[in-house]
């Protein structure tokens, strides 16, 4: 075993060759087993260590200005440790073999920003390249005060490697850009933690590329209006059964964009959490694309007034899918700068499930699952609302709730399990549900309420096209209109409307076209009108209309008929045609 302990001051030949006094240079080359090299330098330094063999160690310690260190180790169970406490600093470690370890610690010691943006020696940089299995890399970079960038690149080729990158730019002054880039192969683990706690931080970026591996990215910065708008970005690309966790947080007013992109193939799990807790924050955007045995969760939060746009996109192509998106805005609803929540989920087939919650301001949600075991559960909450769900077949279920203001909801499921329940709480309301192609288990319930703070436009249309149908609509307050068309077999429909003025309201049309029929309509005030048509089989129909425009029209066309109409006051009219078999009609009109 050989040990070399060299200080930069004693290397006369290298010192003479250096271009200026105070610039130290050290070169060490070792071969064999159990070698140790220790380099300690102060000033303006350069060190190169080359070791070939097993269980070698290289330790480089540099203080001063602009230290440069390179360590190259070939073999197994080698260890390289580089510590730079200096203004600037550059460290490069290359290890080829199995079970090697690299640690780089860089602490930029400058107390003021002495050079312009991006200028050397203001930027500590670390590069690690490891070839082989079971290698480990740790990079710890910190800026004490007033300097600029932190940059790390880690490349690990082989199996079961581990990378840990910690970057902290927490001093006063402009703390600059922080970037980390990690590339790994099979069954690897990557941990990136980036913080910029001073209110003047700029951009934080992290990039991870892996196969069948785990990635955790945590990014946090503080913003301050009139200084900087820090932006945070994370990009993760993974293949084969990987997991990804991204957490991004900006505190303070005037935050910039939060951006996360996760692309995973061949089965994966992704969690993205984004939060901006200050006023006047800008944008949060999360994009997740997965195929295979997927699972995705996205959480986005703006905490105060004046925040802007959310966006979340999840695309999962086949197999286990599950997606969970939660977006929120806790700023005052009256503040017009609190804006959009957008979320789009597309899962294309297999075991789908999607859960979405949005909260206040101009929501929009589009969920498309395209077949198999679907279920969607969505909830929106006040202001712009809009929701579209399309599931195209299989065990469907969609369950929605919207709450206040511009509402609209469309659901289209295209047969089999069906079921759609929507609850709106109105203002400009509307709901359409189509379940079509022999809508097997059918069932649809719509509730639209609200009278307070007026214009509640209600409208609900349901079309189911056969099998076990049931449809219930209850509207309440103002303009009404509800249509149901079930087109055979085990029908039942109940509509209740209340209305009472505004632009006059009520209207209900039910057409069921054969088999077990049923149907009841109750309307309460203003222009009422109800038309029921059942076209055969075990009919029954009831209409009760209480006050104002009344009218009722029932046609059943044969079988066990029964029809009752009670109208009670104002312009009553009733029309019933039943055409054969069980008969029985009761009409009671006016006071």
Closest CA to 473 of 444, 498, 450: 444
pLDDT computed for residue 57 by the predictor:
96
Nearest by Cα to 339 from 300, 393, 396, 391: 300
Picking from 60, 83, 106, the residue at the C-terminal end of a domain is 83
Between residues 167 and 122, the one the model is more confident about: 167
- Whether residue 541 is predicted with pLDDT greater than 80 in this model: the reply is yes
Residue 4 has a pLDDT of 40
Query: Residue 14 has what pLDDT?
Result: 34
Tell me which residue range forms the domain holding 16: 1-83
∠ CA 336-342-343, rounded to 5°: 160
Q: Is residue 23 part of a domain?
A: yes
CB 444 within 8 A of CB 421: yes
Q: Tens digits of per-residue pLDDT, 402-445? A: 888 889 999 999 989 998 999 998 788 899 998 889 999 999 99
> According to the model, what pLDDT value does residue 159 have?
95
| C-alpha span between 206 and 181 (Å, rounded) | 6
pLDDT at residue 148, as a whole number = 63
CA-to-CA dists, residue 429 to 94, 328, 387, 426, 446, angstroms: 64, 22, 12, 5, 11
Q: What are phi and psi of 118, to 5 degrees?
A: 75, 5
Overall residue count recorded for the chain in this entry:
591
| Residue pLDDT, tens place only, 471-503 | 999 988 888 999 999 999 999 999 999 887 777
Query: What confidence score (pLDDT) does residue 284 get?
Result: 82
Tell me how far apart the alpha carbons of residues 492 and 442 are, in angstroms, rounded to a whole number.
11
User: Cα 470 to chain center, whole Å?
Assistant: 35
Q: Which residues contact 61 (CB under 8 A, 6 or more apart)?
A: 38, 39, 40, 41, 83, 84
pLDDT band at 119, cuts 50/70/90?
A: very low
**52, 83, 114 — which closes off a domain?**
83
Residue 581 phi/psi, 5-degree rounding, is 75, -135
- 150 and 179 Cβ atoms separated by less than 8 Å: yes
Domain boundary among 39, 58, 83: 83
CA distance 591 to 236: 73
Higher-confidence residue of 285 and 102: namely 102
Q: What pLDDT is recorded for position 254?
A: 61
Give a yes or no: residue 550 inside a domain.
Answer: yes
When the pLDDT of each residue in the chain is averaged and rounded to a whole number, the result is 84
| Integer CA distances (angstroms), 590 to 115, 269, 551, 553, in order | 91, 65, 12, 16
- pLDDT score at 7: 34
Q: Is residue 251 in a domain?
A: no
Q: Does 556 have pLDDT greater than 70? A: yes
The tokens 């935050």 sit on which residue? 255
Residues 157-162 have a mean pLDDT of 96
User: Does residue 378 lie in a domain region?
Assistant: no
Tokens of 527: 């222009």
Q: Is 105 helix (H, G, I), strand (E, B) or coil?
A: strand
The answer to whether residue 55 sits within a structural domain is yes
Binning pLDDT at 50, 70 and 90, where does residue 280 land? low
User: What pLDDT does 276 receive?
Assistant: 79
pLDDT the model gives residue 494 = 96
Residue 114: pLDDT over 50: no
Specify if 520 maps to a domain.
yes
Mean pLDDT, rounded, for 575-587 = 92
Q: Residues 6 or more apart from 569 whose CB is under 8 A from it?
A: 546, 547, 550, 590, 591
The percent of residues in the chain predicted with pLDDT above 90, rounded, is 48
Q: Which residue has the higher pLDDT, 253 or 140?
A: 140
Q: What is the pLDDT of residue 199?
A: 61
pLDDT, residue 125, reads: 92
Confidence check: pLDDT of 338 > 70: no
Question: Residue 16: CB partners within 8 Å, gap ≥ 6?
Answer: none
Q: Are strands 398-401 and 23-33 parallel, antiparallel or unpaired?
A: unpaired
- Joined tokens for residue 522: 């109750």
Structural domains in the chain (count):
2
Distance CA 539, CA 578 (A): 9
- Contact between 479 and 505 under an 8 Å Cβ cutoff? The reply is yes
Split at pLDDT 50, 70, 90, the class of 6 is very low
Stretch among 14-28, 209-223, 283-297 having the lowest mean pLDDT: 14-28
61 compared with 175, residue with greater pLDDT? 61
Residue 443 lies in a domain: no
User: Cβ of 455: how many Cβ atoms within 10 Å?
Assistant: 15
The whole-number pLDDT of residue 255 equals 59
Distances in Å between the Cα of 173 and the Cα atoms of 122, 180, 196, 430 are 13, 21, 11, 54
236-255 confidence digits (pLDDT tens): 999 888 899 999 988 766 65
pLDDT score for 117: 39
Interatomic CA distance for residues 184 and 86, integer angstroms: 30
Is beta strand 309-317 parallel, antiparallel or unpaired with respect to 343-346? parallel
How far apart are alpha carbons 331 and 328 in whole angstroms? 9
- Computed on alpha carbons and rounded to an integer, the radius of gyration of the chain in Å comes to 34
- For the residues 521-528, what does the mean pLDDT come to? 91
- Cα–Cα dist 533/555, whole Å: 5
CA distance 499 to 385: 22
| Residue 307 confidence (pLDDT) | 56
* Mean predicted confidence (pLDDT) in 165-194: 86
pLDDT at 3: 41
Instruction: Establish if 372 belongs to a structural domain.
Output: no
CA distance 409 to 425: 12
Report residue 15's pLDDT band, with 50, 70 and 90 as the boundaries.
very low
């Amino acid at each position: 075993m050989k040990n070399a302990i060299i200080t930069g001051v004693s290397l006369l030949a290298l010192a003479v060759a250096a271009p200026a006094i105070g610039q130290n240079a050290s070169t060490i080359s070792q071969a064999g087993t159990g070698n140790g090299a220790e380099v300690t330098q102060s000033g303006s330094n350069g060190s190169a260590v080359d070791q070939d063999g097993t269980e070698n160690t290289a330790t480089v310690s540099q203080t001063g200005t602009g230290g440069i260190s390179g360590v190259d180790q070939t073999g197994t169970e080698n260890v390289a440790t580089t510590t730079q406490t200096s203004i600037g600093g550059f460290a490069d470690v290359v290890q080829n073999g199995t079970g090697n370890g690299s640690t780089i610690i860089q602490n930029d010691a400058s107390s003021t920003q002495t050079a312009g943006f991006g200028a050397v020696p203001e930027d500590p940089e670390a590069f690690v390249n490891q070839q082989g299995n079971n290698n480990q890399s740790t990079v710890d970079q910190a800026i004490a005060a007033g300097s600029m960038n932190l940059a790390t690149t880690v490349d690990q080729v082989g199996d079961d490697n581990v990378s840990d990158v910690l970057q902290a730019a927490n001093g006063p002054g402009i703390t600059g850009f922080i970037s980390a880039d990690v590339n790994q192969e099979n069954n690897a683990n990557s941990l990136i933690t980036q913080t910029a706690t001073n209110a003047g931080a700029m951009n934080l970026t992290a990039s991870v590329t892996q196969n069948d591996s785990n990635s955790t990215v945590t990014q946090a910065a503080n913003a301050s209006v009139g200084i900087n708008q820090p932006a945070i970005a994370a990009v993760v690309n993974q293949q084969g059964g990987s997991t990804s966790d991204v957490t991004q947080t900006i505190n303070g007013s005037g935050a910039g964009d939060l951006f996360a992109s996760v692309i995973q193939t061949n089965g994966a799990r992704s969690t993205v959490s984004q939060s901006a807790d200050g006023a006047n924050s800008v944008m949060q955007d999360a994009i997740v694309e997965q195929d295979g045995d997927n699972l995705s969760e996205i959480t986005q939060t703006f905490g105060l007034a004046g925040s802007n746009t959310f966006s979340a996109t999840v695309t999962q192509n086949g197999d286990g899918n599950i997606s969970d998106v939660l977006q929120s805005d806790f700023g005052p609803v009256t503040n017009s700068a609190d804006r959009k929540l957008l979320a789009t989920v597309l899962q294309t087939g297999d075991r789908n499930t999607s859960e979405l919650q949005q909260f206040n301001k101009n929501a929009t949600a589009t969920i498309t699952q395209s077949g198999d075991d679907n279920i969607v559960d969505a909830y929106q909450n006040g202001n712009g609302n809009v929701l579209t769900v399309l599931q195209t077949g299989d065990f469907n279920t969609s369950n929605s709730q919207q709450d206040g203001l511009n509402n609209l909801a469309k659901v289209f499921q295209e047969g089999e399990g069906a079921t759609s329940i929507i609850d709106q709480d109105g203002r400009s309301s509307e709901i359409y549900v189509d379940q079509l192609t022999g809508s097997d288990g059918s069932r649809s319930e719509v509730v639209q309420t609200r009278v307070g703070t007026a214009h509640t436009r209600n409208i609900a249309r349901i079309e189911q096209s056969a099998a076990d149908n049931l449809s219930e609509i209850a509207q309440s307050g103002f303009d009404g209109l509800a249509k149901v068309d079930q087109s055979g077999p085990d029908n039942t429909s109940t509509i209740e409307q209340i209305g009472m003025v505004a632009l006059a309201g009520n209207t209900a049309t039910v057409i069921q076209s054969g088999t077990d029929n049923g149907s009841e309509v109750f309307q309460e005030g203003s222009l009422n009108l109800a038309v029921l048509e059942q076209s055969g089989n075990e009919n029954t129909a009831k209409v009760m209309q209480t006050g104002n425009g009344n009218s009722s029209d029932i046609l059943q066309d044969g079988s066990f008929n029964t029809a009752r109409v009670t109208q009670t006051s104002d312009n009553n009219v009733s029309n019933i045609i039943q055409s054969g078999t069980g008969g029985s009609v009761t009409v009671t009109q006016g006071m």
